[in-house]
Amino acid sequence: MPHVVTFKQVDVFTSVPFLGNPVAVILDGASLSTEQMQRIARWTNLSETTFVLPSDVADYRLRIFTPLNELPFAGHPTVGSAHAVIEAGRVTPRDGRLTQECPAGVIALRVAPDGRVFVRAPRPTVQRVDIDLARLSAALGAPVEAMPAPALVDVGPVWLIAQVPGTDALAAARPDLVAVDAFSREVGALGISAFAITSDVAATERVRVRTWAPGAGVPEDPACGSCNAALGAYLGATGLLSRTGRSYVASQGREMGRDARISVAVGGPDDVEIGGDAVTVIEGAIRLD
């Protein structure tokens, strides 16, 4: 008999198929080696592919792979995988709560009555770094604000967070991905996430975000959960939450033809929650031999 594993492809941070960020969720991860997992992730060629396994300390264990490497935590794969295991009947939330084991620790998840999934990010750390703003601006193809200064934020993955002057400048950014990769490696980041706060205080989406991680095989991410968690921590550390509010919605992916919406809530320096909708687009089985 051929070796097959059950999978779902879930579009995350959208309720409309094809407008969010897809993640491939392999529901039978226990039967696979690390080498097989990485090979599958390289083949799906999505920003992340996840593998669900049993756990002794949580409702399930999750391993998360980009096309090139394994991640300790990532936001959109966590939200999409929770949606998949609930939909498949593998896990039943208790009072709207789940827990996920991953290399970053045991992660708490919350499932809203409407089915939206929210995840509390690993405890973030914000580190100011000495950045050549002119070089960073050239790498991103957009001017980077000097104040507040860019910073490294660790939420499992480490992101370099930088602000640009407005949403038009962010939309017009044409990054040099070779330079972005070199810059990321030098500062110890998985990639760079640039953002702009909209000047329209009545807008539903208070923040626009773009993220690039070419070193992980992700030239641009349509909707990045971990970088939005990192951004929430950055806004809290720099006083910018006064412009967005402690709970806000971020928009990402429009430059790629997507329309992802990420809900972010910053309860304190150690408490950032991100979440949103998810919808299954493909389900079936992957044959391994």
Confidence of residue 199 (pLDDT cuts 50, 70, 90): confident
39: pLDDT strictly greater than 80: yes
pLDDT at 269: 83
Q: Pick the catalytic residue from 48, 101, 205, 220.
A: 48
pLDDT at 10: 98
110-154 pLDDT per residue, tens: 999 999 999 999 999 999 999 999 999 999 999 999 999 999 999
pLDDT at 213: 96
Whether the CB-CB separation of 201 and 244 falls below 8 Å is answered with no
Q: What is the mean pLDDT of residues 200-213?
A: 90
pLDDT at 201: 72
Confidence of residue 157 (pLDDT cuts 50, 70, 90): very high
7-20 pLDDT per residue, tens: 999 999 999 999 99
**48 catalytic per annotation:** yes
Q: What is the mean pLDDT of residues 190-210?
A: 92
pLDDT at 218: 93
Q: What is the mean pLDDT of residues 91-95?
A: 96
What is 125-269's CATH number?
3.10.310.10
pLDDT at 101: 98
Q: Under CATH, domain 4-120+276-287 is a member of which superfamily?
A: Diaminopimelate Epimerase; Chain A, domain 1 (3.10.310.10)
pLDDT at 268: 85
The reply to whether domains 4-120+276-287 and 125-269 share a CATH topology is yes
Q: What is the mean pLDDT of residues 14-36?
A: 97
C-alpha 76/C-alpha 74 separation (Å) is 6
267: pLDDT strictly greater than 80: yes
pLDDT at 202: 73
Give how far the C-alpha of residue 209 lies from the chain's centroid of Cα atoms, to the nearest Å. 11
Q: What sign does the CA torsion over 263, 267, 268, 270 have?
A: negative
Confidence of residue 200 (pLDDT cuts 50, 70, 90): confident
Per-residue three-class SS string for the chain: CCCEEEEEEEEECCCCCCCCEEEEEECCHHHCCHHHHHHHHHHHCCCCEEEEECCCCCCEEEEEECCCCEECCCHHHHHHHHHHHHHCCCCCCECCEEEEEECCEEEEEEECCCCCEEEECCCCEEEECCCCHHHHHHHHCCCCCCCCCCEEEECCCEEEEEECCCHHHHHHCCCCHHHHHHHHHHHCCCEEEEEEECCCCCCCCCEEEEEEEHHHCEEEECCCHHHHHHHHHHHHHHCCHHHHCCEEEEEECHHHCCCEEEEEEEEECCEEEEEECEEEEEEEEEECC
Structure tokens at 277: 């909708």
Domain boundaries, the chain: 4-120+276-287, 125-269
Residue the block writes with tokens 């951004």: 231
Q: How many CA atoms does the CB half-sphere of 79 hold within 13 Å?
A: 33
Residue the block writes with tokens 């909707």: 223
